[in-house]
Structure 1
Amino acid sequence: MIPATRSELARFLRTETVGGSVLLIAAAIAVVWANSPLVDSYTSLRDWQVGPSEIGPIPLHLDLSLGTWAKDGLLAVFFFVAGLELKRELVVGELADRKKALLPIIAALGGVLVPAVIAAVVGAGAPGMNQGGWAIPVATDIAFALGVLALTGSRVPASARVFLLSLAVVDDLLAIILIAVLFTASIAMLWLLTAAACLLVYWFAQQRRITTPFLYVPLALLTWYSVHEAGVHATLAGVALGLLTRVRTDPGEQEAPATRLEHRIQPWSAGFCVPMFALFASGVPINGQVLGELFTNRISLAIILGLLVGKTVGIFGISWLAIRLGIATKPRLLGFRDMFALSMLGAIGFTVSLLVADLALAGVGDGSEAEIAKAAVLITSLAASLIGSALLLRRGRVHQARAAATDS
């Protein structure tokens, strides 16, 4: 009989596999569209202003471009699901066991610190890099990485999936904290207090076991708007709401609210919200000039080295050291070569890296810095997925051979 936690994880991975595929398709469409004769239609659609600017005499500041709606609005749904997943892992999942949680937490810290240091050193002095650009290579894309693992790592032990999922969840939490710290220029305290009050009401309603969407939907929208008006990146509202959602099941309750919401919202997040963000964020020119600058421009070099070298060395190196020193234990049935392959998947930045690139470099210079940074993220994430896939396929054959030898 399959344990409930494992079947829950399997359902999540299946959804992420589909979501990762849709994400790649959306990014590919954006790149082709932005490099075609129809590029003007792409930029016009991305920059099309939509939304109410005011209600009567009251300004709403919501007359935003479609690209901004995708970045601030749709990604809030993605981060809400990430918050739900993090809360579940912390309370009833792998991260609830301190001994099991220690290794992915240490690995995630290494996977954030080492890329940040490499990017800061390599890109020092380049436009925008000292204002948060060094944070571009710190995040791992959950959907993309788990999708690659599901497609090419079916023969490696199940503990590989648990390790990568836990690592990516903690990694994204650290990236979210960096976004909050680095890209909040000024705070409107009244709106921040309004957001805090909304979150308090949401938490109280969860504790009182209130389930009606007629309370939660308007409350979530008001929380998002308050955070947006406060000057903090609006996606943080999604994380906060996710972390305040109840994950334990009451007696007689079929599903906890977090599980129910994750099942309902995850397909929308993976199948629509994140791909739409990728569609508007990935449309950068990929021509001979850009490809030539990838290996000469300090911004692109900082991102490439930060992702490919920094993430891999940070995740694997610190994990290896923690295991050798006895601080943490190695996942069951996983060898160090398996962990190295998983560390390579950690170099797939994509969604959050594209978001940070947009936040850090969008207003720098003539916009070419943001475009070269996004091109570096796209190409490096693709390279990491191909290298990681090759390593996982090789490790899968090794595990299959060992299993066959054991059976015989």
Structure 2
Amino acid sequence: MVGPWSAAYESVRDFHFGIPALGLDLSVAHWTADGLLAVFFLVAGIELKRELVVGELRTPATAALPVIAALCGMAVPAAVYTLVAASGGGSLDGWAVPMATDIAFALAVISTHLPAGLRAFLLTLAVVDDLGAILIIAIFFTSDLNFWALGSAFAGLVLFYALQRFRVRGWWWYVPLGVTIWALMYNSGVHATVAGVAMGLILRTTRDKGEDASPGARVSHLVHPFSAGVAVPLFALFAAGVGISGAALAHVFTDPEPLGVFLGLVAGKILGIFLGTYLAARFTRAQLNPDLAWADVFGLATLAGIGFTVALLIGELAFPNGAEAEHVKAAVLIGSLTAAVLAAVLLRRRNRVYRRLWEDEERDEDADGIPDIYQTGSAGGGR
């Protein structure tokens, strides 16, 4: 970010405040990355749990293709980054940056007349993708573990599970416990967003007899507007505070690290997801949803290149300091924007196809109904 607002922006971003009782004293930027983004991952964890219990992941047959697509959509972008960075003599630390798909932004591009199966495919792919990102953060971007804090966080999660298991109700149990688990996870050295996804996976997503909604559904309904409307935008504001100038663009397309990120998001996602899905359907028993065409899968693979939120988070962890970090952020923004524009064009064309089919069906139904209407009118003495 440049210009007269730069100093004010940096002052707000670097302002520190904390909760002494929990051993926390963080900058605004860290509160958004470690705190607010944990809310985003709480919602993602609930969504993944729902898919595992009642959604597309509940049976191996229906889960196979989107899961394979997600795994290939993580592996190939990482390989693309590694190849580009290694060939250009750059750092390999950012191999995980182009791996994740942003659920909220990707789903926003889905048009109204596209098959419901396409949204389900994307949602399943994205939640598996985000789970993979969480595991990568926990395994590869964690150092200086505090085992006492980690063990205490795990004990808190066990208590959280027990409260769910014994159907204990009341936010006054879960909110203080959740904040404590999050703080312990942060102090343990493991990225605090892991606490969010863990609690999301623990929340029950099936209704008991007499319940209007499951605990997971209620929490998701309450928290999702805050996650999408506050947590993600604020994280984006403080994580993506980089000026997209001509110089920044030049670095994106000339330096090996940002170029690897850009190509990983735009090309790696398409190659990984589309080819992985096609080969799995061709050589295994996994089958593509009959409501979908391969052109839909290609558009979805392009759409998965929107890696905004999680890619920025991993970029900050992989490149914590220096101009290199700013160039990688710029690459994430440009790559995600490019993927979004390409996907919008492709899926808009597919949407027109499905809209024509829908209109044809509506006309057929109207045509079939006309004789019946007149026949009824005639029997009843006219209209």
After TM superposition, the score normalised by the length of structure 1 is 0.86
Structure 2: which amino acid aligns with 1:274? V
Distance in 2, matches of 1:373 and 1:88, equals 34
Deviation at 1:155, TM superposition (A): 2.2
Asked if residue 387 in structure 1 is aligned to residue 354 in structure 2, the reply is no
Structure 2: which amino acid aligns with 1:73? G
- In structure 2, the partner of 1:100 is 62
Distance in 2, matches of 1:128 and 1:85, equals 37
Deviation at 1:248, TM superposition (A): 1.4
- In structure 1, the partner of 2:374 is none
Deviation at 1:215, TM superposition (A): 1.2
- In structure 1, the partner of 2:82 is 120
- In structure 1, the partner of 2:139 is 181
- In structure 2, the partner of 1:73 is 35
Deviations 1:81-128 (A, max 9, x none): 111110111011111122111111000000000001111121138798
Asked if residue 236 in structure 1 is aligned to residue 194 in structure 2, the reply is yes
Distance in 1, matches of 2:63 and 2:37, equals 27
| Partner SS state of residue 134, structure 1 | coil
Contact 1:35 1:286 survives alignment (8 Å)? no
Contact 2:72 2:272 survives alignment (8 Å)? yes
| Partner SS state of residue 96, structure 1 | coil
Q: Structure 1 residues 101 and 344, CA, compared in 2 at 3 Å: closer, same or farther?
A: same
Asked if residue 295 in structure 1 is aligned to residue 253 in structure 2, the reply is yes
Contact 2:15 2:27 survives alignment (8 Å)? yes
Asked if residue 147 in structure 1 is aligned to residue 108 in structure 2, the reply is yes
Deviation at 1:404, TM superposition (A): 4.6
| Partner SS state of residue 243, structure 2 | coil
- In structure 1, the partner of 2:49 is 87
Contact 2:89 2:256 survives alignment (8 Å)? no
Structure 2: which amino acid aligns with 1:378? L
Name stretches of at least 5 consecutive residues in structure 1 with no aligned partner: 1-33
Name stretches of at least 5 consecutive residues in structure 2 with no aligned partner: 365-383
Asked if residue 207 in structure 1 is aligned to residue 165 in structure 2, the reply is yes
Instruction: Pick from 121, 124, 134 the counterpart of residue 163 of structure 1.
Output: 121
After TM superposition, the score normalised by the length of structure 2 is 0.92
Q: Structure 1 residues 77 and 125, CA, compared in 2 at 3 Å: closer, same or farther?
A: farther
- In structure 2, the partner of 1:223 is 181
- In structure 1, the partner of 2:9 is 42
Deviation at 1:402, TM superposition (A): 3.8
Structure 2: which amino acid aligns with 1:140? T
Deviation at 1:259, TM superposition (A): 0.7
| Partner SS state of residue 124, structure 1 | helix
Distance in 1, matches of 2:39 and 2:58, equals 24
- In structure 1, the partner of 2:373 is none
Deviations 1:28-63 (A, max 9, x none): xxxxxx2332111111111111114x45xxxx5411
Instruction: Pick from 96, 115, 130 the counterpart of residue 135 of structure 1.
Output: 96
Q: Which has the larger radius of gyration?
A: 2
Distance in 1, matches of 2:345 and 2:261, equals 22
Contact 1:80 1:239 survives alignment (8 Å)? yes
Deviation at 1:129, TM superposition (A): 3.6
Structure 2: which amino acid aligns with 1:39? S
Deviations 1:343-391 (A, max 9, x none): 100000000000000111013xxx1011000001001111111100000
Alignment of 1:346-357 (within 5 A): 346-357=304-315
Deviation at 1:234, TM superposition (A): 0.6
Structure 2: which amino acid aligns with 1:266? H
| Partner SS state of residue 254, structure 2 | coil
Contact 2:102 2:306 survives alignment (8 Å)? yes
| Partner SS state of residue 24, structure 2 | coil
Aligned length: 363
Deviations 1:153-198 (A, max 9, x none): 2222111111111111111111111011111112111111101110
Contact 1:75 1:277 survives alignment (8 Å)? yes
Deviation at 1:399, TM superposition (A): 2.5
Distance in 1, matches of 2:120 and 2:329, equals 29
| Partner SS state of residue 185, structure 1 | coil
Contact 1:128 1:360 survives alignment (8 Å)? no
Distance in 2, matches of 1:126 and 1:259, equals 47
| Partner SS state of residue 333, structure 1 | coil
| Partner SS state of residue 50, structure 1 | strand
Contact 2:239 2:312 survives alignment (8 Å)? yes
| Partner SS state of residue 63, structure 1 | strand
- In structure 2, the partner of 1:369 is 324
Distance in 2, matches of 1:129 and 1:212, equals 49
Identity of aligned residues (%): 48
- In structure 2, the partner of 1:334 is 292
Distance in 2, matches of 1:193 and 1:67, equals 27
Contact 1:199 1:241 survives alignment (8 Å)? yes
Distance in 2, matches of 1:274 and 1:295, equals 27
